[in-house]
Structure formats: structure tokens, C-alpha cells
Amino acid sequence: MAEQAKTANRGVVQRMLSVVGVDGLASSVWGYVDTTIKWCWIPRWLPSWCPTSQSQLQSAEDMMLRGVNSPFSKQHVPVSSDNQLWTLIVSRDSVKHRTPMVLLHGFGGGVGLWAQNLDALSQHRPVFALDLLGFGQSSRPLFSSDAQEAEDQFVESIEKWRAKVGLESMILLGHNLGGYLAVSYSIKHPGRVKHIFLVEPWGFPERPDTVEADRPIPVWIKALGAMFSPFNPLAGLRLVGPLGPTLVQTLRPDFKRKFSSMFSDNTVSEYIYHLNAQTPSGETAFKSMTIPYGYAKRPMLQRMEQLQPHIPITIVYGSRSSIDSNSGSTIKEMRPQSRVEIITIHGAGHYVYADQPDDFNKRVLQVCVKVA
């Protein structure tokens, strides 16, 4: 019985470490934990600490998409023997011959967040929205802890997805992390990309050397940062367990406002919660790709010269966003022989496509007129 209790305790600790995305620490801390909580046995039949499940995520996504008027289908597309990418397809027979647009969400997102864009963007061409590997309803594998290898895993999954779906070429539209991966993919597979939309892209500039000199960081904040550095960005959401849904509603009431034309309840915050209360796979990969203050370990501006000059780029920023738009101007300067356009959507923040969906959709469609 004592050995069974010890095994159960080990399982509890490992599950808790998994919740915050640091399950790799299990073996190193178990020696200490084993001597301090032998008295604490948590039965496996108790409800999960986080009130979420795959079926709840599916239901939350269905609720997000109930306002989409265009016929659409959803399916898992296998990209390896173990992994699948969850895919939403909006395609009318009259536009199947046009170059499709592929939507890549940002960190912590999913296909449901494009609810206000799918009808408009699919008017003149097929639209594919997918949950990136490790996010949403896609498979959540173990990523490499190496930044380059984790990035390659993302990119390889997108290429295998494209081949499986049978797309010869595509327009890539990526928000946040999706924009970073759109360029990384295009560098490796330039013949498959006709146009890139970078919507409030993450990971392009290098971390400035003066980041602390310009804004001195209090010692206590540095101490907290060091203490929580082993944890994933959204670990707190899972650590609070049943309070998670309320935490999302309290800290991000703006999400409800962004979709107020579609929902008057907590549909969006519930979707956001279930997206990020699951196993932190893509989240862990993202953490491996970042350095303090949210900058990329491998800044994309350092690799822009590897992108073929024939690929046009449209960069979209929100006028009220805190994201530094200087990267857009830098990209334009670096590609004098290429078509680079910078668009600013007035009244929009980081989630441009949700803050001002009508203006965003209109501007994207205007650019896409030039793409067959």
C-alpha cells in the first residue's frame, strides 16, 4: 500500500507540473516533494482541476462559428502518423479555381477567432483556417526545447498539411505568431506562396540593448520574473483551476467587446479559456522560441533577405496597438525590389481583424484583387 501511495503521489505531482508546462522538472523535484507530501494522496477519480475537455473546446468553437453564414466544413488533416491539424474550409464552387487563402492564428488562438472574417474573405476565393500544431483542436505533441527545431516543427506541419490538402499555391495570412511562421514557411517553400499578409506580426525585431536602460525594471519585478521563468506564459490560467473561466472574463473583457456584433454573452471568453486550458504544447514551443520581454530568439528580420523577392508582402497594423510597427518600415527598406505595402487600420488594436473587421476585410480583399 505504501508503494501504491508513493506511485499515486508521483502521478499527482507530474500532472500538476504538466498543467504549468514544466513536466520536464518532475524527475528533478520529485526527491524533495516525495518527502514532504507522502501524506497527501489525491484520488484519480476526482474531477480535473481545470474545468475543460476536448468536447468542451469543440462546443465552444461551434458556438463561436454559429454566426458564420457561409457553408463550411471542418476536419482533422493528418500531417504525420501521430499528428493532425484541425482545419476549417469555406469554399464555393464558383471560386474553387482561385488561389486559396490560408489563415494562421496567433499565440493562444484558434480557427474560431476568424468568425467575423470568414464570410467576407471567402467571397472570391477558398479560405482555409487551421489550428496550428500544438494549439486548438490540432494535435498537441511534445516540441523540441530548441528554438530552431521547434520553429521547424511548426513549418514542417504546415507543409505536410498543404500537401495533404492538395494546394499548389496559397496566400498566407498570419496574425502574431502566425505571421512569423508564414515568413518562415515562405523562406523554405517560396514556390508555394503567392502573397503574404503579416497582421501585427510577432518575432521580427531584435531585442534592443537599451530595453532596460530606457525603462528601468524594479528589482522586485526582476525577482518575480526569474521565479516564474520556468513556467509557460499561460500557466496561471491553469493553476487557478476552476477560477480560470472567470479569470479570462475579468482580465480580458475586451474580447467580449471585439465580438459584440455577434455575441452578447461570454462565448468568446469561454472559447479563449478552453483553447488555453488544454495541454500546453504549442505554448511550450512558443516559450522555447522567446527570450525575456517577449522577443524572439531568432528574430525574423535577420532572415528576411532569404525570402525570395518575387513574393509580395502586405503588413497590417492597428493604430492603437502596442506592437512596434517599425519592423514594417524596416522590411520595406530591406526589399527595394519587392512589393511591400504597409496598412494601418484606424481604431484597431493588436487583434486588428476582430477590432475593426469590416475595414480589415475590405483592405485585405482590395489587395487580393491582384492575386489570381
Buried b (16+ CB within 10 A) or exposed e, 274-309: bbbbbbbbbbbbbbbbbeeeebbebbbbeebeebee
The yes-or-no verdict on residue 191 having pLDDT over 50 is yes
Q: Provide the domain count of the chain.
A: 1
The CB density around residue 36, as the number of other CB atoms within 10 Å, is 9
Give kind and range of the element (H or E) at residue 341.
Answer: strand 340-345
Percent of the chain with pLDDT over 90: 77
pLDDT in tens, 15-42: 444 444 544 444 443 343 333 333 333 3
| Residue 136 belongs to domain with CATH number | 3.40.50.1820
pLDDT of residue 20: 43
pLDDT of residue 49: 86
For residue 4, being part of any structural domain is answered with no
Segment 144-154 shows an average pLDDT of 98
| Model pTM score | 0.86
For residue 146, being part of any structural domain is answered with yes
For residue 247, being part of any structural domain is answered with no
How high does pLDDT run on average in the chain? Answer: 87
For residue 324, being part of any structural domain is answered with yes
What counts of helices (H) and strands (E) characterise the chain?
A: 16, 8
The DSSP symbol for 130 reads E
Give kind and range of the element (H or E) at residue 103.
Answer: strand 101-104
Give kind and range of the element (H or E) at residue 318.
Answer: strand 313-318
For residue 21, being part of any structural domain is answered with no
Domain that holds residue 194: 67-232+280-369
pLDDT in tens, 217-253: 555 444 444 444 556 889 889 999 999 999 999 999 9
For residue 43, being part of any structural domain is answered with no
For residue 250, being part of any structural domain is answered with no
For residue 267, being part of any structural domain is answered with no
pLDDT of residue 291: 94
pLDDT in tens, 76-133: 999 999 999 999 999 999 999 999 999 999 999 999 999 999 999 999 999 999 999 9
Q: For residues 135 and 158, what is the distance between their CA atoms, to the nearest angstrom?
A: 13
**In sequence order, what are the residues at sequence separation of 6 or more whose Cβ sits closer than 8 angstroms to the Cβ of residue 163?**
none
